[in-house]
Amino acid sequence: MSTRIVFETHSWSEDNDRGVATGWLPGRLSARGRALAAELGARRRDDGIAAIFTSDLRRAVETAEVAFAGTGIPILHDWRLRECDYGTRNGTSAVELHRGRVDHLDSPYPGGESWRQAVSRAGRFLDDVPLRWDGCGILLIGHVATRWALDHLLDGVPLEALIIADFAWREGWEYRTGDRQGARRQRTSATRR
């Protein structure tokens, strides 16, 4: 069996309005973000979702709370779904931070982590999903690092390609955990060549 995973980013935050890279800081949704979160709930609440997993950072938790209030769908917080930790650069200009993003694919931000470390952390969450949610549909609310973990670990997209691409926001992405075995086989055979 496999688990159907729907991924949605946290909604628009006050830091997004200010052009700030929030990183591991909590952040708060803006009025626009709360309205978008309500739209997310309307779009997904009848989508066969058994559970919602969200990053424990406030902007992601708030997105889940607004979107799924009163539904009875359990909302579970998991720190492994957090954004990349920019260390001393948390809360700095998003344009400046992302301009040098490729330099931190493998080299951690000062006092933080690398993108590869962030993706690996989120991947440990994926290892636990089949233990309880095999055959179910779940929704993840997270960040860039969360989506890159899904793209890389489930779809086999190289991190080197993800780090230079635009995020290309849209209303949700869908994955299946059964695809992870194929992606693992693909990466293993590629490294053996």
| Least confident range of 22-31, 66-75, 151-160, 169-178 | 169-178
Q: Is 83 annotated as a binding residue?
A: yes
Residues with a known catalytic role: 10, 83
Indicate the residue type of 188.
T
The CATH number given to whatever domain includes residue 127 is 3.40.50.1240
Number of domains in the chain: 1
Domain assignment of residue 137, given as a range: 4-192
Residue 108 pLDDT > 70: yes
Q: Known binder of ligand: residue 41?
A: no
Residue 180 has pLDDT above 80, yes or no: no
Say what the pTM is: 0.89
For residues 164-183, average pLDDT: 76
What does residue 168 show for φ and ψ, rounded to 5 degrees?
Answer: 55, 65
Instruction: Say which residue, 189 or 44, is predicted with more confidence.
Output: 44
Q: Please report, rounded to a whole number, the percentage of residues in the chain having pLDDT higher than 90.
A: 86
Query: Where would I find the H helices in the chain?
Result: 14-18, 31-44, 58-68, 94-99, 115-133, 144-155, 159-162, 179-192
Task: Note the pLDDT of residue 193.
Answer: 35
39 is in an annotated binding site: no
Q: Where does the pLDDT of residue 170 fall: very low under 50, low under 70, confident under 90, or very high at 90 and above? A: confident
Is 84 annotated as a binding-site member? Answer: yes
